[in-house]
Amino acid sequence: MDGFLSTPDSLRPMRPTDNMAPDSPGAGSTTDSHAGSMQMDTLSQISAELATIASNMLTKADKTALVQEMRSAIREEIQEVRSDLNALEQRVTELEADCLQAAQHSQAADNATSRQGTVLLDLRRQVEDLDNRGRRNNIRVRGLAEQAGEDLITILTQLFTQVLGEEAPDTYHIERAHRALRPPRTDGLPRDIICCLLSFQLKEAIMRAARTQTITFMDTQISLFQDLSHLTLEARRALRPLTRLLQDRRIPYKWGHPFSLQARKDNSWRTMRWPNDVPGFLRALDLPAAAIPNWILMGPPQQASDSHQRATDGVDPQEEEVQMARRNRAFKRPDHANPEDYDHPTSRKQARGT
């Protein structure tokens, strides 16, 4: 029974066992000695590291030498900077001197150019005057139809005889006569005829007689003009707005040679010769401001031979009739030309005060 009622050994709780070594009388002293040895090792390491750091630290002599070396390096750098600044200062001084010299040369060149411009204008005026003087025996005939094989000297002799009437001489001594040196016009209008008479007095007599009549020759209305330089025609064309103002205000005016425009007011003549004279000329005549181009700066014609025709082309014929009616000489022109560019009877009469 006891054997059956007893608990088997496998079902009995096991008693905890203590794995620690049994206390012995010398265990505490052993632990303390081990900890002490570790602290000694640590202190030894720290001491060694401190000794290493102390050995690597600079001494006073080393510090002094290092400072001297740094000062020398800085001094050398500063010396290089000063050298560069001195070089830059020298270059700037040279550049300023060069700029001043260039400015002086430029001013001298401007002054020389200005003087040359004045000289060129004077030369232009002299050339224009010489050109007009070389044309003073010329008459420009406008309106005669072109014919094949035409004898211009014979035709002009008959025309001048009709113009002069009883005062016609026996001979005219026409040195030469030819059509304007340009290709025939595409609009069918005839080219002008330029003729040169040996006698200046005879040429003036023909022009005076032409101013007092309307010429009809060979069933065509003919106009006679003084042959002028293309420079003079370009200048007169540029001054056309001003001459229209003078005509509207009934102010007598006339063209002068060398080129000038003269107008009379209060029994005194005002003269304009250059573009910069225009404002004062308008103020002296109590005229409003007008847009007058600088005829000196106008480009020369592409072909000087047809400059006279080009200088007067492109004007509306109806506007011409209005202008001519204002002068009490309204008649239809056979050419698209503006007679204001040439000497006209009305302006001559106004200049004489008639």
Q: Is 272 helix (H, G, I), strand (E, B) or coil?
A: strand
CA dihedral 313, 317, 323, 327 (to 10 degrees): 100
Percent helix, strand, coil in the chain, to 5, is 55, 10, 30
> pTM of the predicted model, to two decimals?
0.57
- Which CATH architecture best describes the domain 138-226? 2-Layer Sandwich (3.30)
Nearest alpha carbon to residue 285 among 255, 263, 267: 263
pLDDT band at 289 (very low <50, low <70, confident <90, very high): confident
Residue 181: what pLDDT? 87
Residues 334 and 256: beta-carbon distance below 8 Å? no
Least confident of 3-17, 56-70, 198-212, 299-313: 299-313
Confidence of residue 153 (pLDDT cuts 50, 70, 90): very high
CB 195 within 8 A of CB 173: no
User: pLDDT-based confidence at 64, cuts 50/70/90?
Assistant: confident
Q: What mean pLDDT is predicted for residues 301-315?
A: 40
Q: Does the pLDDT at position 264 exceed 80?
A: yes
Decide if pLDDT at 325 tops 50. Answer: no
Q: How many CB atoms neighbour CB 2 within 10 A?
A: 5
Q: What percent of the chain stands above pLDDT 90?
A: 42
Residue 350, sorted as left (phi over 0), alpha (psi -120 to 50) or beta, turns out to be alpha
User: Where do the structural domains in the chain lie, given as residue ranges?
Assistant: 78-134, 138-226, 230-352
What is the pLDDT at residue 262? Answer: 94
Q: What is the DSSP letter of 288?
A: P
pLDDT surpasses 70 at 78: yes
Which comes out higher in pLDDT, residue 309 or 33? 33
What integer pLDDT is reported at residue 353 of this predicted model?
39
Q: Could you tell me the pLDDT band of residue 57, with boundaries at 50, 70 and 90?
A: confident
| Other residues' Cβ atoms within 10 Å of the Cβ of residue 316 | 10
Answer whether 181's CB lies under 8 Å from 233's CB. Answer: no
Angle between the N-to-C axes of helices 152-164 and 200-211, in degrees from 0 to 180, rounded to the nearest 10: 60
Give the range among 51-55, 76-80, 100-104 with minimum mean pLDDT.
51-55
At residue 131, does pLDDT exceed 80?
yes
According to DSSP, the residues that pair with 268 across neighbouring strands are 265
Cβ–Cβ under 8 Å, residues 143 and 220? yes
Q: Is the pLDDT of residue 179 over 50?
A: yes
Q: What is the mean pLDDT of residues 277-296?
A: 88
Under 8 Å between Cβ of 325 and 351 = no
Query: Which of the pair, 38 or 227, is modelled with greater confidence?
Result: 227
High-pLDDT (> 70) share of the chain, %: 73
Question: What is the pLDDT confidence band of residue 283, given thresholds at 50, 70 and 90?
Answer: very high
Dist CA 103 CA 256 (whole Å): 42
Q: Are 273 and 259 in contact (CB under 8 A)?
A: yes
Is residue 206 within 8 A of residue 198, CB to CB? The reply is no
